[in-house]
């Protein structure tokens, strides 16, 4: 769990005034090929906190598109903003986070994403909540938005923000709930740099789920992870079904690694999709010898698609997607569950490749 040498080599920029301020803030953004979104993310972050006690650090995995051009143009157009670009040859999020936090002058870290845009006042409010006793990490609900205007992109955004699609991940279920509550994890968190140091940084052996792992260790240290509902962060979901499958194959496999690392972190919602995949395979195989079992398989699939259609109708109605989205929703749900469930099962046996 040690911080990599790449982190140790990050250039610390001495600034006595900012370093001495206990509520100075450094935003850290892992980034790779995000030319479509990084400009909006920077725009939303630019006015979030006081000049002189606020900086933004983008840790870029040597992007192949125009990401770095967009960042440099934004820096030129906003000379009053402290914006630093750091290289991340490893192109892994956990490494990027450690590089960024190591280089940060602020005493509070706001971990953001190039694919996300926080609401006004997000950072300032998180700093306020961090003043509360026993609070180690603060975040706000993640409001999932389509990354394009296509029917598929809108269906994907709806599926990954619906309980049927992603279970009871509280930070993605922004409707209802208390104004503030202790949760397992949050997506875009603020925490003190001293806590990052105390816990040994982000675990660079995890190429996904590094945030859940960090938040789990925060909770194990006796501090709380708080979800505050006074604001939100817009997150732009994947645009195509191919990208969605790749994302959830990655998520499932690395969630398995995290569970193996911290068995007590296991939650019931992690087992639903793997159990569904296991049941499909088991019934299909047993049916080769005992054909009546295929009837059970057909019944299970019928029930699944009925539920997927019911919940899909709710998503389509909320998104105004009409009949076309309703027809697409069961497929999107199925791809999420099969991808995540199968990769989780595989990950319990075989460590995912990079």
The string of pLDDT tens digits covering residues 65-103 is 999 999 999 999 998 899 999 999 999 999 999 999 999
Q: How does residue 13 score in pLDDT terms, banded at 50, 70 and 90?
A: very low
Query: Pairing relation of β-strands 108-111 and 25-31?
Result: parallel
**170-184, 249-263, 333-347 — which is least confidently predicted?**
170-184
Query: Read out DSSP for 41-102?
Result: HHHHHHTSS-TTSEEEEEEE---SSSHHHHHHHHHHH-TTSEEEEEE-TT--HHHHHHHHHH
Q: How does residue 4 score in pLDDT terms, banded at 50, 70 and 90?
A: very low
Choice between 56 and 187, residue whose per-residue pLDDT is larger? 56
Give the pLDDT confidence score for residue 89 in this predicted structure. Answer: 94
190, 139 in Cβ contact below 8 A? yes
pLDDT beyond 80 at 217:
yes
174, 233 in Cβ contact below 8 A? no
In CATH, the architecture of 5-120+186-202 is Alpha-Beta Complex (3.90)
* Closest listed residue to residue 45, CA positions, set 103, 119, 100: 119
Q: Cα(354)–Cα(342) distance, rounded to whole angstroms? A: 17
Instruction: Based on DSSP, count helices (H) and strands (E) in the chain, helices before strands.
Output: 14, 11
Q: Cα(19)–Cα(12) distance, rounded to whole angstroms? A: 11
51, 117 in Cβ contact below 8 A? no
- Phi first, then psi, for residue 135 (nearest 5°) are -90, 120
Residue with tokens 């939100």: 232
Give the pLDDT confidence score for residue 175 in this predicted structure. Answer: 60
Is the pTM for the entire model greater than 0.85?
Answer: yes
229-257 mean pLDDT:
93
117-146 mean pLDDT:
93
- Phi first, then psi, for residue 266 (nearest 5°) are -60, 135
Give percent above pLDDT 70 in the chain.
Answer: 93
All structural domains of the chain with their residue ranges: 5-120+186-202, 257-349
Evaluate the CA torsion angle 246, 247, 251, 252 in order and state its sign. Answer: negative
Give the pLDDT confidence score for residue 12 in this predicted structure. Answer: 40
Residue with tokens 């845009």: 117
Q: Cα(71)–Cα(69) distance, rounded to whole angstroms? A: 5
Q: How does the average pLDDT of the chain come out, rounded?
A: 90
Q: Is 320 left (phi over 0), alpha (psi -120 to 50) or beta?
A: left
pLDDT beyond 60 at 7:
no
Q: How does residue 319 score in pLDDT terms, banded at 50, 70 and 90?
A: confident
**11-20, 91-100, 227-236 — which is least confidently predicted?**
11-20
The string of pLDDT tens digits covering residues 145-181 is 998 889 999 999 999 988 898 776 677 665 666 789 9
Integer Rg of the chain from CA: 21
Give the pLDDT confidence score for residue 172 in this predicted structure. Answer: 67
């Amino acid at each position: 769990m040690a911080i990599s040498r790449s982190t140790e080599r990050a250039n610390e920029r001495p600034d006595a005034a900012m370093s001495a301020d206990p509520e100075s803030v450094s935003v850290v953004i892992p980034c790779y090929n995000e030319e479509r979104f990084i400009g909006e993310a920077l725009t939303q972050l630019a006015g979030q906190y006081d000049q002189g006690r606020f900086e933004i650090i983008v840790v870029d995995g040597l992007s192949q598109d125009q990401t770095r051009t967009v960042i440099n143009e934004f820096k030129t157009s906003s000379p009053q903003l402290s914006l630093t670009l750091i290289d991340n040859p490893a192109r892994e999020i956990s490494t990027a986070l450690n590089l960024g936090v190591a280089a940060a002058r602020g005493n509070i870290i706001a971990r953001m994403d190039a694919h996300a845009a926080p609401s006004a006042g997000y950072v300032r409010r998180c700093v306020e909540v961090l003043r509360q006793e026993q609070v180690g990490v603060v975040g706000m609900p993640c409001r999932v938005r389509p990354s394009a205007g296509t029917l598929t992109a809108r269906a994907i955004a709806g599926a990954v923000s619906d309980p049927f699609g992603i279970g009871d991940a509280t930070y993605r279920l922004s409707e209802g709930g208390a104004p503030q509550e202790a949760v397992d994890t949050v997506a875009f968190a603020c925490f003190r740099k001293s806590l990052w140091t105390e816990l040994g940084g982000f675990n660079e052996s995890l190429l996904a789920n590094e945030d859940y792992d960090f938040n789990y260790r925060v909770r194990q240290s006796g501090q709380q992870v708080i979800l505050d509902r006074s604001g939100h962060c817009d997150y732009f979901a994947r645009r195509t079904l191919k990208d969605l499958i790749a994302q959830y194959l990655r998520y499932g496999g690395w969630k398995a690694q995290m569970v193996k690392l911290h068995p007590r972190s296991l939650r019931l919602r992690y087992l639903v999709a793997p159990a569904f995949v296991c049941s499909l395979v088991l019934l299909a195989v047993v049916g080769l010898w005992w054909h009546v079992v295929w009837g059970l398989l057909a019944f299970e699939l019928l029930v699944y698609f009925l539920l997927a259609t019911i919940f899909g109708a709710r998503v389509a109605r909320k998104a105004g997607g009409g009949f076309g989205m309703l027809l697409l929703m069961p497929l999107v749900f199925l791809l999420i569950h099969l991808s995540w469930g199968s990769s989780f099962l595989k990950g319990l046996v075989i460590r995912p490749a990079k």
